[in-house]
């Protein structure tokens, strides 16, 4: 056991809104399974304006922070070091606070997506489609840079969003073609479809699911299943859920913050499923 793990340490998730976050359930389960009895993990409602003040109050007992919206970009100027993965999408969801006082930022969403796909046997695809063009879509593109060997078609609602996705493609070295959201039903025939849109946005596409769908990665986990995911499963397609993503990225966070590996993936997933079922 490392000296860090032996001492009482603190970690937390920050964001706004934050009350819905499953991160405390996942991280606390990991601590219990790893025997880290002195560790605590909380949630704090923190917006962009309050973030510098929160950082200023962090003491030596703090080991790490998980960040959700709207803090993933706002935190970057407050850090001493940012990983190449996080810089690639200008988004940090993990901060490790070292014993010598350094603040190191990383992005575990991207490798978390890759790990969630690999868990379902998706190692490589020759093309893919993304539904949506927000912050999660850029992370999806970064994940596809590691998985997809060919073209990615992004279905978006405006030319401004289309231009953003093409720019992300250039930056991440992914071949991106954009298409209008009105044609989004065409996305569903791709070998891999990643839905990055808010709840309800893809409901109307459920009736367009093909008879033999391939793989759908829907980043939502509540409400679950989405209408699209339910129809996809009904037709025998493989479905990767937002909970899969949340658990895999949390596993990486736990390992970075505690210095202990492997983190207990199965126990964390079961705890997340239980917490969602109780809501």
Which residues are marked as active site? 72
- CB-CB contact of 260 with 254 (8 Å): yes
- CB-CB contact of 63 with 257 (8 Å): yes
Q: Could you tell me the two tokens for 222?
A: 């509540």
- CB-CB contact of 93 with 70 (8 Å): no
Peptide bond into 36 cis (omega under 30): no
Q: Does an H or E element contain 106, and which?
A: strand 103-106
Q: Does an H or E element contain 53, and which?
A: helix 51-56
CA gap 58, 73 in Å, rounded: 19
Paired residues of 45 in beta bridges: 15
Q: Could you tell me the two tokens for 259?
A: 């210095």
- CB-CB contact of 147 with 122 (8 Å): yes
Burial class (CB in 10 A: 0-12, 13-18, 19+), 58: middle
């Amino acid at each position: 056991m490392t000296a860090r793990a032996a001492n009482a340490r603190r970690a937390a998730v920050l964001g706004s809104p934050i009350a819905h976050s499953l991160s405390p359930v996942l991280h606390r389960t990991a601590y219990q399974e790893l025997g880290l009895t002195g560790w605590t993990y909380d949630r704090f409602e923190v917006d962009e304006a309050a973030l510098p003040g929160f950082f200023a109050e962090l003491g030596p007992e703090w080991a790490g922070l998980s960040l959700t919206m709207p803090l993933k970009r706002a935190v970057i100027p407050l850090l001493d070091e940012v990983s190449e993965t996080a810089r690639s999408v200008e988004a940090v969801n993990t901060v490790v606070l070292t014993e010598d006082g350094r603040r190191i930022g990383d992005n575990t969403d991207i490798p978390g997506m890759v790990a969630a796909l690999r868990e379902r046997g998706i190692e490589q695809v020759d093309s893919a489609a993304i539904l949506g063009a927000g912050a999660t879509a850029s992370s999806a593109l970064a994940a596809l840079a590691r998985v997809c060997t060919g073209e990615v078609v992004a279905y978006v609602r405006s030319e401004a969003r289309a231009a953003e996705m093409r720019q992300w493609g250039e930056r991440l070295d992914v071949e991106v073609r954009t298409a209008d959201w009105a044609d989004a039903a065409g996305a569903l025939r791709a070998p891999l479809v990643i839905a990055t849109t808010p709840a309800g946005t893809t409901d109307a596409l459920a009736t367009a699911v093909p008879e033999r769908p391939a793989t759908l990665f829907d980043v939502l986990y509540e409400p679950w299943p989405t209408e699209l995911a339910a129809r996809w499963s009904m037709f025998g397609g493989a479905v990767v859920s937002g909970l899969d993503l949340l658990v895999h990225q949390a596993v990486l966070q736990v390992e970075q913050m505690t210095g202990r590996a492997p983190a207990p993936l199965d126990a964390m997933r079961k705890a997340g499923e239980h917490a969602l079922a109780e809501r």
